[in-house]
């Protein structure tokens, strides 16, 4: 095994200018990630300088066998924390050979919203709180839980410390450092209310980069759990009963919200979000009705409410924002399995572009 580890950790820059680029894309389910690697002649820092590539879409649920070729367009580059050196991770989106975005390509429509002059002028900032659950590989039951049984009730696990409270910290810390190495704007991590559940935060990021960075952060976490032999779940309610679900709370502000008088802009934006509550809920992740029950720090899925410091609301405004009269708010509705391209662009479209 030591020889295998040595080979995996070979530093290619000692003997060649060539690098390895891992192309990443979203698969046919809309939540699964796929990737494959190719050799490039030398370091690349501009995604527009990278070659397009193709894959068999019939094997990912994204094309028919009779016309299976799907084209990958490189969109964002990150340092590769696994191969290191000059090797890179490349976030891509997918198109038909004719150049049309395939149905599961949600980045293309998001990029159009974020390139709108009115949206560009507002410089939308995002901070996404990605919750997830780590499961035992063979039984698909949370790590740290007795097989077929349950741990003690919720209470000691949130931000908990100790072998009987925090399960999987080595994975969490590895992911934290790997994201920082990659150039992802990861801003923190914490243990969550349900044991075996954790959260990382990405942001602040601007516009389309919020989606790119969250997807690559998810990819890095998938790779680390693969190495650790643990299953990663983004199910919004992995365990039924008196256990917290998993969300992707999305913190948001515009330039107008961050300036003096921004609190009035925030309130108007929240009013717009309330008017389009049904449309947002429909786009905020599969299975979210199992999570948004009005319990476990959620608002009921059919009800839109907002409040200051209220974690049982659809939209939460922080005390600091209220006091300063400017700042940001948190949309607590998105599920952990949401597509960040959809959620971030929809929030921008509703609050900036939509005219009631």
* pLDDT at 220 (0 to 100): 98
What DSSP state is assigned to residue 284?
Answer: S
Confidence grade of residue 5 (pLDDT, cut at 50, 70, 90) = confident
The mean pLDDT of 65-78, rounded to a whole number, is 95
Q: Alpha-carbon distance 213 to 207, whole Å?
A: 11
Decide if domain 115-351 falls under CATH 3.30.590.10: yes
Q: Where are the domains of the chain?
A: 1-103, 115-351
Handedness of CA 201, 206, 211, 213 (dihedral sign): negative
Sort residue 20 into left (φ over 0), alpha (ψ -120 to 50) or beta: beta
The mean pLDDT of 14-42, rounded to a whole number, is 97
* pLDDT at 118 (0 to 100): 98
Beta strands, E only, 41-100: 53-56, 69-79, 88-95
Confidence grade of residue 20 (pLDDT, cut at 50, 70, 90) = very high
Q: Which residue has the higher pLDDT, 271 or 4?
A: 271
* pLDDT at 148 (0 to 100): 87
Coil, strand or helix: which one is 342? Answer: helix
**Could you tell me the pTM of the whole model?**
0.97
Q: How many angstroms separate the Cα of 215 from the Cα of each of 227, 250, 259?
A: 19, 14, 30
pLDDT at 116 over 60: yes
Element (H, E) at 24: strand 19-26
Q: How many angstroms separate the Cα of 214 from the Cα of each of 152, 209, 228, 309, 344?
A: 32, 8, 21, 25, 11
Which range, of 64-68, 87-91, 179-183, 248-252, averages the lowest pLDDT? 64-68
No. of H helices and E strands in the chain? Answer: 10, 13
Q: Which residue has the higher pLDDT, 246 or 14?
A: 246
Per-residue pLDDT tens for 131-165?
A: 999 999 999 999 999 998 999 999 999 999 999 99
* pLDDT at 3 (0 to 100): 85
Pairing state of beta strands 248-253 and 125-136? antiparallel
What is the largest distance, in Å, between two alpha-carbon atoms of the chain? 64
Q: Alpha-carbon distance 72 to 95, whole Å?
A: 6
pLDDT at 2 over 90: no
Query: Mean pLDDT over all residues of the chain?
Result: 96
What value, to the nearest 5°, has the Cα angle with vertex 197 and ends 196 and 200?
A: 135
Residues 16/10, Cβ–Cβ less than 8 Å: no
The mean pLDDT of 249-259, rounded to a whole number, is 98
* pLDDT at 254 (0 to 100): 98
Confidence grade of residue 32 (pLDDT, cut at 50, 70, 90) = very high
* pLDDT at 1 (0 to 100): 54
The mean pLDDT of 89-113, rounded to a whole number, is 98
Residues 22/90, Cβ–Cβ less than 8 Å: yes
* pLDDT at 292 (0 to 100): 95
Per the document, the length of the chain is: 356
Q: Alpha helices of 153-247 — where are they, by DSSP H?
A: 169-182, 209-228
Encoded tokens for 270: 């929240």
* 1-103: CATH number: 3.10.20.70
Note whether 1-103 and 115-351 share their fold.
no
Per-residue pLDDT tens for 321-338?
A: 999 999 999 999 999 999
Q: Compute, in degrees rounded to 10, the torsion defined by CA atoms 49, 339, 79, 47.
A: 10
* pLDDT at 263 (0 to 100): 98
């Amino acid at each position: 095994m030591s020889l295998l580890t040595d080979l995996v950790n070979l530093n290619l820059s000692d003997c060649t200018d060539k690098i390895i680029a891992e192309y990443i894309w979203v698969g046919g389910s809309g939540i699964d990630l796929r990737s494959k690697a190719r050799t490039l002649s030398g370091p690349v820092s501009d995604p527009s300088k990278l070659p397009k590539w193709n894959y068999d879409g019939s094997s990912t649920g994204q094309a028919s066998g009779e016309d299976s070729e799907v084209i990958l367009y490189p969109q964002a580059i990150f340092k590769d924390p696994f191969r290191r050196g000059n090797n890179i991770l490349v976030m891509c989106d997918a198109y038909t050979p004719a150049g049309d975005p395939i149905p599961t390509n949600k980045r293309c429509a998001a990029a159009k919203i974020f390139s709108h002059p009115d949206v560009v002028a507002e410089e939308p900032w995002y901070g996404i709180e990605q919750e997830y659950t780590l499961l035992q590989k063979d039984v698909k039951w949370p790590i740290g839980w007795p097989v077929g049984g349950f741990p003690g009730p919720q209470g000691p696990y949130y931000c908990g410390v100790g072998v009987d409270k925090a399960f999987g910290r080595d994975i969490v810390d590895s992911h934290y450092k790997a994201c920082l190495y990659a150039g992802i704007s990861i801003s923190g991590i914490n243990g969550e209310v349900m044991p075996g559940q954790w959260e990382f935060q990405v942001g602040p990021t601007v516009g389309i980069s919020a989606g790119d960075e969250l997807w690559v952060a998810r990819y890095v976490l998938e790779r680390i759990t693969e190495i650790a032999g643990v299953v990663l779940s983004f199910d919004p309610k992995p365990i039924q009963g008196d256990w917290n679900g998993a969300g992707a709370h999305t913190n948001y502000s515009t330039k107008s919200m961050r300036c003096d008088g921004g609190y009035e802009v925030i309130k108007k934006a929240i009013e717009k979000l309330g008017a389009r509550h049904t449309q947002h809920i429909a786009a905020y992740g599969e299975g979210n009705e199992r999570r948004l029950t009005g319990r476990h720090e959620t608002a009921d899925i059919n009800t839109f409410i907002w409040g200051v410091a209220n974690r049982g609301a659809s939209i939460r405004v922080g005390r600091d924002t209220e006091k300063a009269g400017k700042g940001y708010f948190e949309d607590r509705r998105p599920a952990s399995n949401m597509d960040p391209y959809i959620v971030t662009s929809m929030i921008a479209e509703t609050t900036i572009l939509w005219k009631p």
